[in-house]
Structure 1
Amino acid sequence: MTSEQSPDPESASEQTNAPRRAGFAYAFGRMLITPLARMVYRPRVEGRENVPKDGPVIFASNHLSFIDSIAIPVAAPRPVHFLAKSSYFEGTGFRGALSRIFFTSIGAIPVRRGAGQAALDALDQQKQLLDDGLTVALYPEGTRSDDGRLYKGRTGVAFLALETGAPVVPVGLIGTDRMMPRGAKMPSLRVRVTVKFGEPLDLSTHGAASSGRARRQATDDIMAAIHALSGQELAGVYNEPPAHTPIEKIKQALPHERR
Protein backbone atom coordinates (compact mmCIF):
# COMPACT_ATOMS: atom_id res chain seq x y z
CA MET A 1 0.00 0.00 0.00
CA THR A 2 1.17 3.51 -0.69
CA SER A 3 -0.20 6.65 0.80
CA GLU A 4 -2.74 6.40 -2.00
CA GLN A 5 -3.72 2.76 -1.51
CA SER A 6 -5.30 0.37 0.95
CA PRO A 7 -3.72 -3.00 1.68
CA ASP A 8 -4.57 -5.18 -1.31
CA PRO A 9 -2.64 -7.74 -3.32
CA GLU A 10 -2.36 -5.34 -6.26
CA SER A 11 -0.22 -2.82 -4.44
CA ALA A 12 1.67 -3.32 -1.20
CA SER A 13 5.02 -3.87 0.43
CA GLU A 14 7.79 -6.34 -0.20
CA GLN A 15 9.33 -5.58 3.17
CA THR A 16 9.22 -8.22 5.87
CA ASN A 17 11.10 -6.35 8.57
CA ALA A 18 9.30 -4.70 11.45
CA PRO A 19 7.92 -1.26 10.60
CA ARG A 20 9.79 1.77 11.84
CA ARG A 21 8.12 3.60 14.69
CA ALA A 22 7.84 7.35 15.01
CA GLY A 23 11.15 8.58 16.36
CA PHE A 24 12.91 11.91 16.72
CA ALA A 25 12.12 13.08 13.20
CA TYR A 26 8.41 12.48 13.72
CA ALA A 27 8.42 14.15 17.15
CA PHE A 28 10.24 17.10 15.63
CA GLY A 29 7.82 17.17 12.72
CA ARG A 30 4.78 17.22 14.99
CA MET A 31 6.36 20.00 17.04
CA LEU A 32 7.33 22.13 14.02
CA ILE A 33 5.37 21.12 10.90
CA THR A 34 1.97 20.53 12.50
CA PRO A 35 1.57 23.99 14.11
CA LEU A 36 2.99 25.63 10.98
CA ALA A 37 0.59 23.74 8.69
CA ARG A 38 -2.35 24.60 10.92
CA MET A 39 -1.38 28.27 10.90
CA VAL A 40 -0.81 28.45 7.14
CA TYR A 41 -3.65 26.26 5.86
CA ARG A 42 -6.15 26.77 8.72
CA PRO A 43 -7.89 23.38 8.41
CA ARG A 44 -11.32 23.03 9.95
CA VAL A 45 -11.19 20.01 12.26
CA GLU A 46 -14.31 18.38 13.66
CA GLY A 47 -14.69 15.43 16.01
CA ARG A 48 -11.19 15.26 17.50
CA GLU A 49 -12.84 14.13 20.72
CA ASN A 50 -13.96 10.95 18.91
CA VAL A 51 -10.37 9.69 18.63
CA PRO A 52 -9.48 7.32 21.50
CA LYS A 53 -6.67 8.76 23.59
CA ASP A 54 -4.74 5.48 23.74
CA GLY A 55 -4.69 1.99 22.30
CA PRO A 56 -4.73 0.91 18.66
CA VAL A 57 -6.80 2.94 16.20
CA ILE A 58 -7.41 2.61 12.47
CA PHE A 59 -8.23 5.87 10.67
CA ALA A 60 -10.25 4.95 7.56
CA SER A 61 -10.59 7.89 5.20
CA ASN A 62 -11.86 8.89 1.79
CA HIS A 63 -9.06 9.76 -0.61
CA LEU A 64 -9.10 12.79 -2.87
CA SER A 65 -5.54 14.13 -3.01
CA PHE A 66 -1.88 13.46 -2.24
CA ILE A 67 -2.24 15.96 0.59
CA ASP A 68 -4.71 13.69 2.42
CA SER A 69 -1.77 11.88 4.00
CA ILE A 70 -0.61 15.20 5.42
CA ALA A 71 -4.03 16.53 6.40
CA ILE A 72 -4.84 13.55 8.64
CA PRO A 73 -1.61 13.62 10.72
CA VAL A 74 -1.89 17.42 11.02
CA ALA A 75 -5.48 17.23 12.27
CA ALA A 76 -5.28 14.08 14.42
CA PRO A 77 -4.70 14.45 18.17
CA ARG A 78 -2.38 11.42 18.14
CA PRO A 79 0.65 10.34 16.07
CA VAL A 80 -0.48 8.62 12.86
CA HIS A 81 1.41 6.07 10.77
CA PHE A 82 0.76 5.23 7.13
CA LEU A 83 2.57 3.35 4.41
CA ALA A 84 4.14 5.39 1.63
CA LYS A 85 6.05 4.59 -1.57
CA SER A 86 9.67 3.72 -0.81
CA SER A 87 10.77 6.08 -3.60
CA TYR A 88 9.97 9.00 -1.28
CA PHE A 89 12.80 7.79 0.97
CA GLU A 90 15.37 6.72 -1.62
CA GLY A 91 16.29 9.98 -3.33
CA THR A 92 19.86 11.25 -3.34
CA GLY A 93 21.39 14.60 -2.60
CA PHE A 94 19.72 17.48 -0.80
CA ARG A 95 16.26 16.87 -2.29
CA GLY A 96 16.41 13.20 -1.35
CA ALA A 97 17.38 14.00 2.21
CA LEU A 98 14.65 16.63 2.46
CA SER A 99 12.08 14.14 1.17
CA ARG A 100 13.15 11.50 3.71
CA ILE A 101 13.00 13.97 6.59
CA PHE A 102 9.61 15.29 5.55
CA PHE A 103 7.90 11.92 5.07
CA THR A 104 9.42 10.54 8.25
CA SER A 105 8.23 13.61 10.12
CA ILE A 106 4.61 13.00 9.13
CA GLY A 107 4.66 9.36 10.18
CA ALA A 108 5.21 7.65 6.82
CA ILE A 109 6.72 4.16 6.67
CA PRO A 110 8.48 3.19 3.42
CA VAL A 111 7.23 0.16 1.50
CA ARG A 112 7.80 -1.21 -1.99
CA ARG A 113 4.99 -2.01 -4.35
CA GLY A 114 4.39 -5.63 -5.13
CA ALA A 115 1.81 -8.38 -5.18
CA GLY A 116 1.00 -11.71 -3.55
CA GLN A 117 3.23 -12.19 -0.52
CA ALA A 118 4.16 -8.51 -0.65
CA ALA A 119 0.53 -7.59 0.09
CA LEU A 120 0.51 -9.88 3.11
CA ASP A 121 3.76 -8.30 4.31
CA ALA A 122 2.13 -4.87 4.18
CA LEU A 123 -0.83 -6.10 6.20
CA ASP A 124 1.59 -7.62 8.69
CA GLN A 125 3.41 -4.30 9.10
CA GLN A 126 0.17 -2.54 9.89
CA LYS A 127 -0.91 -5.31 12.25
CA GLN A 128 2.38 -4.95 14.16
CA LEU A 129 1.75 -1.25 14.63
CA LEU A 130 -1.76 -1.89 15.91
CA ASP A 131 -0.58 -4.71 18.19
CA ASP A 132 1.79 -2.15 19.73
CA GLY A 133 -1.14 0.16 20.50
CA LEU A 134 -0.33 2.66 17.73
CA THR A 135 -2.48 4.18 15.00
CA VAL A 136 -2.53 3.67 11.24
CA ALA A 137 -4.31 5.59 8.48
CA LEU A 138 -5.72 3.73 5.47
CA TYR A 139 -7.80 4.45 2.39
CA PRO A 140 -10.43 1.73 1.83
CA GLU A 141 -11.10 2.94 -1.74
CA GLY A 142 -7.62 1.77 -2.71
CA THR A 143 -6.52 4.88 -4.60
CA ARG A 144 -7.53 8.50 -4.86
CA SER A 145 -10.77 9.51 -6.54
CA ASP A 146 -10.19 11.66 -9.60
CA ASP A 147 -13.86 12.58 -10.06
CA GLY A 148 -14.68 13.40 -6.42
CA ARG A 149 -17.04 10.45 -5.96
CA LEU A 150 -16.75 7.94 -3.12
CA TYR A 151 -15.95 4.47 -4.45
CA LYS A 152 -16.67 1.06 -2.94
CA GLY A 153 -14.35 0.03 -0.16
CA ARG A 154 -11.87 -2.82 -0.34
CA THR A 155 -11.86 -5.26 2.55
CA GLY A 156 -8.25 -4.95 3.76
CA VAL A 157 -9.14 -2.30 6.35
CA ALA A 158 -11.97 -4.43 7.74
CA PHE A 159 -9.64 -7.45 7.88
CA LEU A 160 -7.17 -5.50 10.03
CA ALA A 161 -9.94 -4.27 12.31
CA LEU A 162 -11.46 -7.72 12.78
CA GLU A 163 -8.06 -9.38 13.15
CA THR A 164 -6.70 -6.94 15.76
CA GLY A 165 -9.86 -5.71 17.45
CA ALA A 166 -8.79 -2.12 16.83
CA PRO A 167 -11.64 0.39 16.56
CA VAL A 168 -12.05 2.16 13.24
CA VAL A 169 -12.38 5.94 13.30
CA PRO A 170 -13.96 7.06 10.00
CA VAL A 171 -12.52 10.22 8.50
CA GLY A 172 -14.20 12.54 6.01
CA LEU A 173 -11.90 14.86 4.07
CA ILE A 174 -13.46 17.79 2.25
CA GLY A 175 -11.65 20.18 -0.11
CA THR A 176 -8.26 18.47 -0.32
CA ASP A 177 -8.83 17.84 -4.03
CA ARG A 178 -9.28 21.57 -4.56
CA MET A 179 -6.34 22.48 -2.34
CA MET A 180 -3.98 20.17 -4.22
CA PRO A 181 -5.45 18.58 -7.36
CA ARG A 182 -3.60 15.78 -9.14
CA GLY A 183 -0.54 17.20 -10.91
CA ALA A 184 -0.18 20.25 -8.66
CA LYS A 185 3.28 20.76 -7.19
CA MET A 186 2.20 22.77 -4.15
CA PRO A 187 -1.05 23.08 -2.19
CA SER A 188 -3.09 26.26 -2.64
CA LEU A 189 -3.24 28.77 0.20
CA ARG A 190 -6.66 29.98 -0.98
CA VAL A 191 -8.50 26.76 -0.14
CA ARG A 192 -9.40 25.58 3.35
CA VAL A 193 -9.94 21.89 3.96
CA THR A 194 -12.19 20.20 6.48
CA VAL A 195 -11.20 17.06 8.39
CA LYS A 196 -14.03 15.26 10.18
CA PHE A 197 -13.40 12.43 12.64
CA GLY A 198 -16.44 10.24 13.23
CA GLU A 199 -17.32 8.10 16.23
CA PRO A 200 -15.28 4.87 16.55
CA LEU A 201 -16.81 1.80 14.92
CA ASP A 202 -16.82 -1.55 16.72
CA LEU A 203 -16.96 -4.06 13.88
CA SER A 204 -16.54 -7.21 15.98
CA THR A 205 -20.27 -8.00 15.77
CA HIS A 206 -19.82 -8.96 12.10
CA GLY A 207 -17.74 -12.03 12.93
CA ALA A 208 -14.18 -13.24 12.45
CA ALA A 209 -11.61 -11.82 10.04
CA SER A 210 -11.55 -15.19 8.28
CA SER A 211 -15.14 -14.70 7.11
CA GLY A 212 -15.49 -13.04 3.72
CA ARG A 213 -19.05 -12.04 4.58
CA ALA A 214 -17.90 -10.40 7.82
CA ARG A 215 -15.17 -8.48 5.99
CA ARG A 216 -17.65 -7.26 3.36
CA GLN A 217 -20.28 -6.17 5.88
CA ALA A 218 -17.68 -4.44 8.05
CA THR A 219 -16.30 -2.66 5.00
CA ASP A 220 -19.78 -1.46 4.02
CA ASP A 221 -20.25 -0.05 7.54
CA ILE A 222 -16.94 1.79 7.27
CA MET A 223 -17.81 3.29 3.88
CA ALA A 224 -21.28 4.32 5.08
CA ALA A 225 -19.67 6.19 8.00
CA ILE A 226 -17.17 7.89 5.69
CA HIS A 227 -19.98 8.88 3.33
CA ALA A 228 -21.95 10.43 6.20
CA LEU A 229 -18.94 12.62 7.00
CA SER A 230 -17.80 13.56 3.49
CA GLY A 231 -21.18 13.89 1.76
CA GLN A 232 -19.69 12.68 -1.53
CA GLU A 233 -21.70 11.23 -4.38
CA LEU A 234 -21.50 7.44 -4.29
CA ALA A 235 -19.86 5.81 -7.31
CA GLY A 236 -21.26 2.34 -6.59
CA VAL A 237 -18.22 0.62 -8.13
CA TYR A 238 -14.59 -0.04 -7.27
CA ASN A 239 -11.97 2.51 -8.24
CA GLU A 240 -9.97 0.32 -10.61
CA PRO A 241 -7.60 1.14 -13.47
CA PRO A 242 -8.98 0.44 -16.95
CA ALA A 243 -8.59 -3.17 -18.07
CA HIS A 244 -6.35 -3.34 -21.15
CA THR A 245 -6.27 -7.08 -21.87
CA PRO A 246 -9.05 -9.66 -22.20
CA ILE A 247 -7.76 -11.46 -19.09
CA GLU A 248 -7.89 -8.25 -17.04
CA LYS A 249 -11.43 -7.55 -18.27
CA ILE A 250 -12.56 -11.02 -17.27
CA LYS A 251 -10.93 -10.74 -13.84
CA GLN A 252 -12.68 -7.43 -13.16
CA ALA A 253 -16.03 -8.76 -14.38
CA LEU A 254 -15.97 -11.91 -12.27
CA PRO A 255 -17.12 -11.56 -8.65
CA HIS A 256 -14.15 -11.61 -6.30
CA GLU A 257 -13.11 -9.95 -3.10
CA ARG A 258 -11.20 -6.69 -3.53
CA ARG A 259 -8.58 -6.45 -0.83
Structure 2
Amino acid sequence: MIASAPDGSTRKRNAPAAWRTWWSRPLGRILDHVTYRTAVYGKPGIPREGAVIFAANHLSYLDGPVMVGASPRYMHVLVRDTMFKGFLGWVLHASGQIPIDRAGDRAALQAAKAVLERGECIGILPEGTRGSGDAASVNSGVAWLALNSGAVVVPVAVLGTRVTGEHKDNIPPLRRKFSVTFGDPLRIERVPGLSGRASMDAAAEQIRAALARNVREAIEQTGQELPADDKVDND
Protein backbone atom coordinates (compact mmCIF):
# COMPACT_ATOMS: atom_id res chain seq x y z
CA MET A 1 0.00 0.00 0.00
CA ILE A 2 1.49 3.32 -1.12
CA ALA A 3 0.69 6.79 0.17
CA SER A 4 2.30 10.19 0.15
CA ALA A 5 3.83 11.21 3.45
CA PRO A 6 3.48 14.83 4.66
CA ASP A 7 6.98 15.61 3.35
CA GLY A 8 6.03 14.36 -0.13
CA SER A 9 7.93 11.09 0.17
CA THR A 10 6.33 7.70 -0.41
CA ARG A 11 5.45 5.34 2.38
CA LYS A 12 4.44 1.70 2.15
CA ARG A 13 2.48 -0.16 4.80
CA ASN A 14 1.44 -3.74 4.22
CA ALA A 15 -1.77 -5.13 5.65
CA PRO A 16 -0.97 -7.27 8.73
CA ALA A 17 -1.30 -11.03 8.39
CA ALA A 18 -4.58 -12.50 9.63
CA TRP A 19 -2.83 -15.00 11.91
CA ARG A 20 -1.43 -12.20 14.06
CA THR A 21 -4.87 -11.65 15.62
CA TRP A 22 -5.23 -15.28 16.73
CA TRP A 23 -3.81 -14.58 20.18
CA SER A 24 -5.06 -10.99 20.65
CA ARG A 25 -8.71 -12.00 21.08
CA PRO A 26 -7.96 -14.62 23.78
CA LEU A 27 -5.92 -11.96 25.61
CA GLY A 28 -8.84 -9.57 25.22
CA ARG A 29 -11.16 -12.15 26.76
CA ILE A 30 -8.84 -12.53 29.75
CA LEU A 31 -8.94 -8.75 30.14
CA ASP A 32 -12.74 -8.72 29.85
CA HIS A 33 -13.63 -11.66 32.06
CA VAL A 34 -10.70 -12.23 34.43
CA THR A 35 -9.12 -8.83 34.99
CA TYR A 36 -12.51 -7.07 34.72
CA ARG A 37 -16.17 -8.08 34.59
CA THR A 38 -17.56 -7.37 31.13
CA ALA A 39 -21.15 -7.89 30.04
CA VAL A 40 -21.59 -8.22 26.28
CA TYR A 41 -24.78 -7.45 24.37
CA GLY A 42 -25.79 -7.71 20.72
CA LYS A 43 -23.38 -10.42 19.55
CA PRO A 44 -26.04 -12.41 17.63
CA GLY A 45 -26.52 -9.49 15.24
CA ILE A 46 -22.88 -9.39 14.11
CA PRO A 47 -22.34 -10.86 10.62
CA ARG A 48 -20.53 -14.17 10.92
CA GLU A 49 -18.79 -13.77 7.59
CA GLY A 50 -17.56 -10.95 5.40
CA ALA A 51 -15.87 -7.63 6.04
CA VAL A 52 -16.94 -5.67 9.14
CA ILE A 53 -15.81 -2.34 10.55
CA PHE A 54 -16.33 -2.23 14.32
CA ALA A 55 -16.63 1.46 15.28
CA ALA A 56 -16.54 2.15 19.04
CA ASN A 57 -16.79 5.21 21.24
CA HIS A 58 -13.62 6.22 23.07
CA LEU A 59 -13.23 6.75 26.82
CA SER A 60 -9.89 5.23 27.80
CA TYR A 61 -6.86 3.22 26.76
CA LEU A 62 -8.80 -0.01 27.32
CA ASP A 63 -11.63 0.54 24.82
CA GLY A 64 -9.87 -1.18 21.92
CA PRO A 65 -8.69 -4.28 23.85
CA VAL A 66 -12.08 -4.60 25.59
CA MET A 67 -13.85 -4.47 22.21
CA VAL A 68 -11.47 -7.09 20.79
CA GLY A 69 -12.17 -9.46 23.68
CA ALA A 70 -15.94 -8.98 23.46
CA SER A 71 -16.27 -9.53 19.72
CA PRO A 72 -16.97 -12.98 18.23
CA ARG A 73 -14.82 -11.97 15.21
CA TYR A 74 -11.07 -11.45 15.12
CA MET A 75 -10.11 -7.90 14.17
CA HIS A 76 -7.16 -5.61 13.44
CA VAL A 77 -7.52 -2.32 15.33
CA LEU A 78 -6.26 1.04 14.10
CA VAL A 79 -4.13 2.35 16.98
CA ARG A 80 -2.42 5.73 17.37
CA ASP A 81 1.12 5.39 16.04
CA THR A 82 2.73 6.90 19.14
CA MET A 83 1.62 3.81 21.09
CA PHE A 84 3.98 1.62 19.03
CA LYS A 85 6.97 2.03 21.33
CA GLY A 86 8.82 -0.35 23.63
CA PHE A 87 7.20 -3.55 24.83
CA LEU A 88 3.66 -2.27 24.19
CA GLY A 89 4.63 -1.43 20.62
CA TRP A 90 5.98 -4.95 20.14
CA VAL A 91 2.72 -6.42 21.47
CA LEU A 92 0.62 -4.21 19.20
CA HIS A 93 2.67 -5.10 16.15
CA ALA A 94 2.82 -8.81 16.95
CA SER A 95 -0.97 -8.97 17.42
CA GLY A 96 -1.66 -7.40 14.04
CA GLN A 97 -2.77 -3.91 15.04
CA ILE A 98 -2.32 -1.08 12.53
CA PRO A 99 -0.50 2.15 13.51
CA ILE A 100 -2.17 5.33 12.31
CA ASP A 101 -1.16 8.98 12.43
CA ARG A 102 -4.28 10.85 13.50
CA ALA A 103 -3.15 13.93 11.55
CA GLY A 104 -3.84 11.99 8.36
CA ASP A 105 -2.51 8.61 7.27
CA ARG A 106 -3.61 7.23 3.91
CA ALA A 107 -1.14 4.35 4.19
CA ALA A 108 -2.85 3.10 7.36
CA LEU A 109 -6.30 3.39 5.77
CA GLN A 110 -5.11 1.54 2.68
CA ALA A 111 -3.73 -1.25 4.87
CA ALA A 112 -7.06 -1.43 6.72
CA LYS A 113 -8.93 -1.50 3.39
CA ALA A 114 -6.78 -4.45 2.27
CA VAL A 115 -7.79 -6.32 5.44
CA LEU A 116 -11.46 -5.66 4.68
CA GLU A 117 -11.02 -6.78 1.07
CA ARG A 118 -9.88 -10.15 2.46
CA GLY A 119 -13.29 -10.42 4.15
CA GLU A 120 -11.87 -9.75 7.61
CA CYS A 121 -12.58 -7.15 10.30
CA ILE A 122 -11.20 -3.79 11.34
CA GLY A 123 -11.70 -2.05 14.69
CA ILE A 124 -11.65 1.73 14.86
CA LEU A 125 -12.28 4.42 17.47
CA PRO A 126 -13.57 7.15 15.14
CA GLU A 127 -13.87 9.86 17.80
CA GLY A 128 -10.09 9.98 17.47
CA THR A 129 -9.20 10.88 21.04
CA ARG A 130 -10.32 9.77 24.48
CA GLY A 131 -13.21 11.96 25.59
CA SER A 132 -16.73 11.78 26.95
CA GLY A 133 -17.59 8.88 24.62
CA ASP A 134 -20.90 10.29 23.40
CA ALA A 135 -19.91 10.26 19.70
CA ALA A 136 -20.59 13.97 19.26
CA SER A 137 -18.14 13.88 16.35
CA VAL A 138 -16.22 11.30 14.34
CA ASN A 139 -13.35 11.58 11.89
CA SER A 140 -13.66 10.85 8.18
CA GLY A 141 -11.41 7.77 8.19
CA VAL A 142 -14.24 5.42 9.15
CA ALA A 143 -16.42 6.88 6.38
CA TRP A 144 -13.63 6.46 3.82
CA LEU A 145 -13.17 2.82 4.80
CA ALA A 146 -16.89 2.07 4.65
CA LEU A 147 -17.39 3.75 1.27
CA ASN A 148 -14.29 2.29 -0.36
CA SER A 149 -14.44 -1.27 0.98
CA GLY A 150 -18.16 -2.03 1.00
CA ALA A 151 -17.82 -3.39 4.55
CA VAL A 152 -20.73 -3.09 6.95
CA VAL A 153 -20.24 -0.90 10.01
CA VAL A 154 -21.18 -2.21 13.45
CA PRO A 155 -21.42 0.56 16.09
CA VAL A 156 -19.98 -0.49 19.46
CA ALA A 157 -20.78 1.17 22.79
CA VAL A 158 -18.12 0.61 25.47
CA LEU A 159 -19.08 1.75 28.97
CA GLY A 160 -17.25 1.67 32.31
CA THR A 161 -13.66 1.97 31.12
CA ARG A 162 -13.63 5.51 32.51
CA VAL A 163 -16.08 7.03 34.97
CA THR A 164 -16.74 10.46 36.45
CA GLY A 165 -13.70 11.83 38.27
CA GLU A 166 -11.11 9.71 36.47
CA HIS A 167 -8.44 11.15 34.21
CA LYS A 168 -8.07 9.83 30.68
CA ASP A 169 -4.77 8.14 31.59
CA ASN A 170 -6.20 6.18 34.53
CA ILE A 171 -6.31 2.40 34.38
CA PRO A 172 -9.58 1.21 35.99
CA PRO A 173 -9.35 -0.80 39.22
CA LEU A 174 -9.43 -4.58 38.86
CA ARG A 175 -12.80 -6.32 38.56
CA ARG A 176 -14.70 -3.19 37.60
CA LYS A 177 -17.80 -3.87 35.56
CA PHE A 178 -17.66 -2.93 31.88
CA SER A 179 -20.30 -3.34 29.20
CA VAL A 180 -19.92 -3.72 25.45
CA THR A 181 -22.99 -3.36 23.24
CA PHE A 182 -22.86 -4.19 19.54
CA GLY A 183 -25.46 -2.30 17.53
CA ASP A 184 -27.23 -3.18 14.30
CA PRO A 185 -24.98 -3.52 11.24
CA LEU A 186 -25.07 -0.49 8.97
CA ARG A 187 -24.28 -0.48 5.24
CA ILE A 188 -22.95 2.82 3.98
CA GLU A 189 -23.49 3.77 0.34
CA ARG A 190 -22.64 6.81 -1.74
CA VAL A 191 -25.49 9.26 -2.24
CA PRO A 192 -26.22 9.79 -5.95
CA GLY A 193 -25.53 13.33 -7.11
CA LEU A 194 -23.23 14.23 -4.23
CA SER A 195 -19.58 15.09 -4.70
CA GLY A 196 -16.94 12.85 -3.17
CA ARG A 197 -16.40 15.22 -0.24
CA ALA A 198 -20.12 15.60 0.39
CA SER A 199 -20.62 11.82 0.21
CA MET A 200 -17.82 11.39 2.75
CA ASP A 201 -19.39 13.93 5.10
CA ALA A 202 -22.82 12.30 4.74
CA ALA A 203 -21.36 8.86 5.46
CA ALA A 204 -19.47 10.14 8.51
CA GLU A 205 -22.65 11.71 9.89
CA GLN A 206 -24.61 8.51 9.28
CA ILE A 207 -22.03 6.51 11.20
CA ARG A 208 -21.79 9.13 13.97
CA ALA A 209 -25.56 9.15 14.46
CA ALA A 210 -25.72 5.34 14.61
CA LEU A 211 -22.87 5.20 17.13
CA ALA A 212 -24.38 7.96 19.30
CA ARG A 213 -27.75 6.20 19.24
CA ASN A 214 -26.14 2.89 20.22
CA VAL A 215 -24.34 4.56 23.12
CA ARG A 216 -27.61 6.09 24.38
CA GLU A 217 -29.43 2.77 24.10
CA ALA A 218 -26.58 0.96 25.86
CA ILE A 219 -26.80 3.42 28.77
CA GLU A 220 -30.52 2.75 29.06
CA GLN A 221 -30.02 -1.01 28.85
CA THR A 222 -27.11 -1.35 31.27
CA GLY A 223 -27.60 1.57 33.65
CA GLN A 224 -23.93 2.50 33.19
CA GLU A 225 -23.27 6.16 32.47
CA LEU A 226 -20.68 8.09 30.53
CA PRO A 227 -18.31 10.27 32.56
CA ALA A 228 -20.18 13.37 33.73
CA ASP A 229 -16.98 15.41 33.56
CA ASP A 230 -14.36 15.49 30.85
CA LYS A 231 -10.90 15.12 32.38
CA VAL A 232 -9.28 14.98 28.98
CA ASP A 233 -6.37 16.88 27.52
CA ASN A 234 -6.30 17.26 23.75
CA ASP A 235 -3.50 14.82 22.85
Indicate the TM-score class for this superposition, using the shorter chain for normalisation. Answer: 0.7 to 0.9
Q: What's 2:156 paired with?
A: 171
Inter-partner Cα distance in structure 2 for 1:153 and 1:89: 23
Inter-partner Cα distance in structure 2 for 1:89 and 1:217: 32
Q: What's 2:30 paired with?
A: 36
What RMSD in Å do the two structures reach over aligned CA positions? 3.2
TM-score (norm 1): 0.70
Q: Which residue identity lines up with residue 108 of structure 1 in the other structure?
A: Q
Identity of aligned residues (%): 32
- Give unmatched runs, 5+ long, in structure 1: 1-8, 234-238, 243-259
**8 A contact 1:30–1:105 mirrored in 2:** no
Inter-partner Cα distance in structure 1 for 2:81 and 2:114: 19
Superposed displacement of residue 37, structure 1: 2.3
**Alpha-carbon spacing, 1:110–1:216, altered in 2? closer, same or farther (3 Å):** closer
**8 A contact 1:30–1:106 mirrored in 2:** no
Q: What's 2:92 paired with?
A: 103
Q: Which residue identity lines up with residue 222 of structure 1 in the other structure?
A: I
Task: Give the one of 126, 135, 138 matched to 1:140.
Answer: 126
Matched, 1:70 2:70: no
Inter-partner Cα distance in structure 2 for 1:194 and 1:55: 25
TM-score (norm 2): 0.77
Superposed displacement of residue 171, structure 1: 0.9
Indicate the structure with greater strand content.
2
Inter-partner Cα distance in structure 1 for 2:119 and 2:189: 18
Inter-partner Cα distance in structure 2 for 1:107 and 1:84: 10
Kindly tell me the number of residue pairs found equivalent between the two proteins: 213
**8 A contact 2:129–2:234 mirrored in 1:** no
Q: What's 2:52 paired with?
A: 57
Q: What's 1:246 paired with?
A: none
Inter-partner Cα distance in structure 2 for 1:47 and 1:190: 22
Superposed displacement of residue 170, structure 1: 0.8
- Give unmatched runs, 5+ long, in structure 2: 220-225, 227-231
Inter-partner Cα distance in structure 2 for 1:201 and 1:54: 15
Q: What's 2:16 paired with?
A: 20
Inter-partner Cα distance in structure 1 for 2:74 and 2:103: 28
